[in-house]
Structure 1
Amino acid sequence: MALMITDECINCDVCEPECPNNAISQGAEIYVIDPKLCTECVGHYDKPQCQQVCPVDCIPFDPDLRETQEQLMEKYHQIWSKSA
């Protein structure tokens, strides 16, 4: 499952630099997460770092984008093999 940022986002700027896959960027009104790049920090950390630093708890799992740990790890390998 990828993560998503809800309308409760206050644009505090703390989540974007924490994302190891550069999946978070400034959207039209609030930050957004690119589901093609979001691995929920699998391959990097035990827990999603954006969720850990968000002061308003506005980064839930996206129920429309369910992925297994194996799928997230495969996505991690695909992302990082391109940058190597």
Structure 2
Amino acid sequence: MKITASADRCIAAGNCALIAPEVFDQSDEDGTVAVLDDSPPVEAHDTVRQAAAACPAAVIHIDD
């Protein structure tokens, strides 16, 4: 799994960071998405998918 996120389109809802804090955070500057681990371990994949699905701006992209 490879994760990318379009911070320029992020609306800073923070759902990703709440659901998968080991993979996502929010920028201190403007609260937009920050990817902490762009290749998380297999055991985190389901949580990452949940976080991506919960993103209201659909800015998280997963490549399997």
Shorter chain as denominator, the TM-score bin is 0.5 to 0.7
Deviations 1:1-56 (A, max 9, x none): 3212202110011111111x6121112331111126x52x7314286121110111
Runs of 4+ aligned residues of structure 1 deviating over 2 Å after TM superposition are: 44-47
Identity fraction in percent:
20
Structure 1 residues 2 and 14: alpha-carbon distance in aligned structure 2, compared to 1, 3 A threshold: same
User: What are the ranges of 5 or more consecutive residues in structure 1 without an aligned counterpart?
Assistant: 63-67, 69-84
In the other structure, the counterpart of 1:4 is 4
Q: How many correspondences in the alignment?
A: 60
RMSD over aligned CA atoms reads 2.7
Q: Which has the larger radius of gyration?
A: 1
Q: Is the 8 A contact 1:24 1:32 kept in 2?
A: yes
TM, length-normalised to structure 1: 0.54
Give 1 or 2: higher strand fraction: 2
User: What are the ranges of 5 or more consecutive residues in structure 2 without an aligned counterpart?
Assistant: none
TM, length-normalised to structure 2: 0.66
